[in-house]
Amino acid sequence: MSFGFGFGFPSVGATGTVPTLSLPFAGATTLDPRIAFTRSSSGTYIDSSGIIQTASTDVPRLDYSPTTLAPLGLLIEEQRTNLALNSGEVLSGIGGVVVANQITAPDGSLADFFREDTSNGEHYAGDRVVAVTAGTTYTWSFYAKLGLTGEARRACVRTGGQGPANVAFDLETGIGTLIGGAISFGSSSAGNGWWRCWIVLIATGTGPAVFRQQLSIGTNTVYTGNGTSGFYLWGAQLEVGAFPTSYIPTVASQVTRTADIALMTGTNFSSWYNQTEGTFVVTARDVSNPLGVMAATDDGTSANRNSIFLAGATTAVGFRTTVASVVVSDIAVGTIVSGAAFTIAAAYKTNDFAATLNGAAVVVDSLGGVPLGQTTLRIGADVANTAFIGGHLQRLTYYNTRLTNAELQTISG
């Protein structure tokens, strides 16, 4: 019997086994009604036209690519706060002028233009000064678009005051060049020539820090301006954490987007789950948290659970089974490629565990019991709600039998 919602699912292998749970997220317009989804704030997502929209409280975010418009799936993120005020505005700065409301921003509103003057010196929009705490990791990001195609101008993402960091981003290619200080950095295309540029830094002191959007020629931030060049700016965001999350708009005060919680309990769980053996197949992408959990079952505690997760900074994918707080099986199946979709198939049965990533050779573990008394399926997070994936779940499927190793390779390939 299949409990798919809105989509069918083919049989697997020669056995003709069909899933007892099929949750397609990519391309869906709503969630399976058995999923209890909550988020106690609004949150932004990208719609099928590539525009940033706002989902209301407790409304799931079914995201799309801003460039290809392809469906990405269910966005699951941890709680974050945008510490930068007036995020949609460009503040008056040095070595140039702000020209308001010039082109369409990624959310469909109007974005400002910062135009350099003819002075010899630095050319940057107004600084955002925010109090930071020593030893805390911050991510500073904003959206930028080149003023004139073919110019040498770049967006220089700079911080100062409590641990300076500096990266210059080519606004035609999105490629960043480290000048100094940042522990990581990156960019992603937001469509229509827009790039979201970000840097990650650790504050070296406690007190006010400067976060800046600056023009540069290559990595040179001091030059003589021509009076016409510049860049469009929008969507400033400063958040505590080691990677950027979805845009959180602010005006006069800081704004918090709370965590996305998605789970199944009660008969919505027990109707399809087999306590003694089974197989999970999970497809995900854009996972940002190096310890993020894609899917897990548990008894309401961390003592007894099955978990499909990322196993650290190497982005190795793993399948772990814990019984009475003891890890009885811990399988690593390979590493993922940043930004690419991946599928892991993982099976459990007493003394018979196995997992594979993207159809690769199956990794097995032949010793260990299974966690009984499972009551909950968690989607995109762990039981403590601390290991959110910070990315997209595209599909989650479950079979109430331990599929063969050949079937695991077929269905994950």
Q: Is 316 exposed, middle or buried (0-12, 13-18, 19+ CB in 10 A)?
A: middle
Query: How many whole angstroms separate alpha carbon 246 and alpha carbon 43?
Result: 8
Instruction: Give all strands (DSSP E) within 324-404, no chain letters.
Output: 326-335, 342-349, 353-357, 363-365, 376-379, 391-399
Residue 355: which of 244, 293, 280 has the closest Cα? 280
Q: Which residues of the chain have pLDDT under 50?
A: 1-15
pLDDT of residue 314: 59
Q: Amino acid letter at 71? A: P
Same fold, 21-37+261-412 and 82-256: yes
Task: Give the Å distances, CA to CA, from 191 to 6, 43, 50, 296.
Answer: 30, 20, 7, 34
Provide the residue count of the chain.
413
Query: How many whole angstroms separate alpha carbon 200 and alpha carbon 138?
Result: 6
- Residues with Cβ < 8 Å from 61, sequence gap 6 or more? 43, 44, 45, 55, 74, 75, 246, 260
Secondary structure class of 409 (helix, strand, coil):
helix
Task: Give the Å distances, CA to CA, from 31 to 94, 165, 203, 410.
Answer: 49, 41, 40, 27
Q: Are 127 and 151 in contact (CB under 8 A)?
A: no
Q: Are 78 and 72 in contact (CB under 8 A)?
A: no
Q: What is the CATH number of domain 21-37+261-412?
A: 2.60.120.200
Q: Which fold, 82-256?
A: Jelly Rolls (2.60.120)
Helices (H), 118-266: none
Secondary structure class of 26 (helix, strand, coil):
coil
Q: Are 140 and 211 in contact (CB under 8 A)?
A: yes
Query: How many whole angstroms separate alpha carbon 359 and alpha carbon 28?
Result: 25
The b-or-e profile of 57-72 (16+ CB within 10 A means b, else e) is eebbbbbbbbeeeebb
- The terminus-to-terminus CA distance of the chain in angstroms comes to 24
Residue 351: which of 309, 323, 383 has the closest Cα? 323
Query: How many whole angstroms separate alpha carbon 20 and alpha carbon 377?
Result: 14
Residue 163: which of 181, 138, 142, 141 has the closest Cα? 181
pLDDT of residue 16: 53
DSSP 116-156: E-S-EE--BPPPEEEEE-TT-EEEEEEEEEESSTT--EEEE
pTM score, two decimals?
0.93
Domain ranges within the chain, ordered by starting residue: 21-37+261-412, 82-256
Is beta strand 21-24 parallel, antiparallel or unpaired with respect to 120-121? unpaired
- Residues with Cβ < 8 Å from 220, sequence gap 6 or more? none
Secondary structure class of 322 (helix, strand, coil):
strand
Query: How many whole angstroms separate alpha carbon 110 and alpha carbon 143?
Result: 13
Q: Are 162 and 185 in contact (CB under 8 A)?
A: no
Structure tokens at 167: 């990266």
